[in-house]
Amino acid sequence: LGSGKFFVGGNWKCNGSKESIGKLVSELNNATLEADVDVVVAPPFVYIDQVKNSLVNSRIQIAAQNCWTGKGGAFTGEISVEQIKDIGAGWVVLGHSERRHIIGEDDQFIGKKAAYALSQDLGVIACIGELLEEREAGRTFEVCFQQLKAYADAVSSWDKIVIAYEPVWAIGTGKVATPEQAQEVHDAVRDWLRKNVSTEVASKTRIIYGGSVNGGNSSELAKQEDIDGFLVGGASLKGVEFAAIVNSVT
Ligand code: PEP
């Protein structure tokens, strides 16, 4: 087990309106959350300020869902790390499979973003994960290690990185990885960190699982030795269920 606290992130993706997000925040404000868990929610950029101002539960931290590779400037449509910090977010989700496979971001581009975010002291939720055809071809470890190496090559410190293993076939599909399938990859990721970064980084870096986690399957997954938390998509849009996931991990 990673030596840090459990970490549960809610990835709201490109969902919500002022109204629905207001409702979600009030559900989170009313929820009782396990004290010993880091809780982070990632609203769409345009609602971060609303969420920040209406969350009374100050232990819920905020993540952006993307960032630019460097300082802001003439980069139309981008949001800089400085702006993300200015608005009060402490984290950014990078390398999500939707950005890799729908938007077309590659390892090198993602690595640059991670390096810059960390250089400015913004925490990074670094996503990795294989496609179904890659798993079926027996390439799961190879794909995950390659994505991991791109982060490792780019960053100089692992102090503020959480790795999210998210098999693409499990994201938004309702097909959650079995606890054994997830544990096998988490263990391999930790072993890769031990061999390629350091024993210390391997033991302290949190490796969280994402892919159809819900209130019904989270506690079985959380029992696995190398699962240090979750990144939750769909179920994070329901405050009561998200709180149940947070509270299932200890
Ligand atoms: C995600 O988008 O990071 C995710 C895990 O989504 P879902 O929980 O909906 O599968």
ipTM: 0.97
* Adjacent-strand bridge partners of 193: none
Q: Which of the four pLDDT bands, split at 50, 70 and 90, describes residue 141? A: very high
Q: Examine residue 214 and state whether it is found in any structural domain, yes or no.
A: yes
Residue 47 near residue 21, CB atoms below 8 Å: yes
Cβ of 172 closer than 6 Å to ligand 1, yes or no, is yes
Q: Examine residue 1 and state whether it is found in any structural domain, yes or no.
A: no
- Model confidence pLDDT, tens digit, residues 23-72: 999 999 999 999 999 999 999 999 999 999 999 978 999 999 999 999 99
Q: What is the mean pLDDT of residues 149-157?
A: 97
- Picking from 6, 7, 24, 5, the residue whose alpha carbon sits closest to that of residue 15 is 24
Q: Examine residue 16 and state whether it is found in any structural domain, yes or no.
A: yes
Q: What is the mean pLDDT of residues 185-204?
A: 98
Q: How many CB atoms lie within 10 A of CB 32?
A: 9
Q: Examine residue 96 and state whether it is found in any structural domain, yes or no.
A: yes
DSSP letter (8 states) at residue 14? T
Q: What percent of the chain has pLDDT above 90? A: 96
Say which CATH number the domain at 80 has. Answer: 3.20.20.70
Q: Examine residue 27 and state whether it is found in any structural domain, yes or no.
A: yes
Q: Which amino acid is at 72?
A: G
Nearest CA to ligand 1 atom 1: 233
Where do we find the tokens 């410190």?
157
Residues 6 or more apart in contact with residue 59 via CB below 8 angstroms? 33, 39
- Model confidence pLDDT, tens digit, residues 65-86: 999 999 999 999 999 999 999 9
Testing ligand 1's pocket by substitution, the residue of 94, 213, 227, 237 carrying the most ligand atoms inside 8 A of its CB is 213
Supply the residues annotated as catalytic: 96, 166
Q: Examine residue 102 and state whether it is found in any structural domain, yes or no.
A: yes
Residues 6 or more apart in contact with residue 102 via CB below 8 angstroms? none
Cβ of 177 closer than 6 Å to ligand 1, yes or no, is no
Q: Is the pLDDT of residue 155 over 80?
A: yes
Cβ of 234 closer than 6 Å to ligand 1, yes or no, is yes
pTM: 0.98
pLDDT attached to residue 250 = 67
Cβ of 229 closer than 6 Å to ligand 1, yes or no, is no
Domain count, the chain: 1
Nearest CA to ligand 1 atom 4: 233
Residue 151 near residue 118, CB atoms below 8 Å: no
Range of the domain at 52: 6-246
Nearest CA to ligand 1 atom 2: 233
Nearest CA to ligand 1 atom 6: 233
SS3 assignment, position 137: coil
Please state, rounded to an integer, the average pLDDT across all residues of the chain: 96
Q: Examine residue 198 and state whether it is found in any structural domain, yes or no.
A: yes
Q: Examine residue 41 and state whether it is found in any structural domain, yes or no.
A: yes
- Can you list the positions of beta strands (E) in the chain? 6-11, 37-42, 60-64, 91-94, 123-128, 161-165, 207-210, 229-232
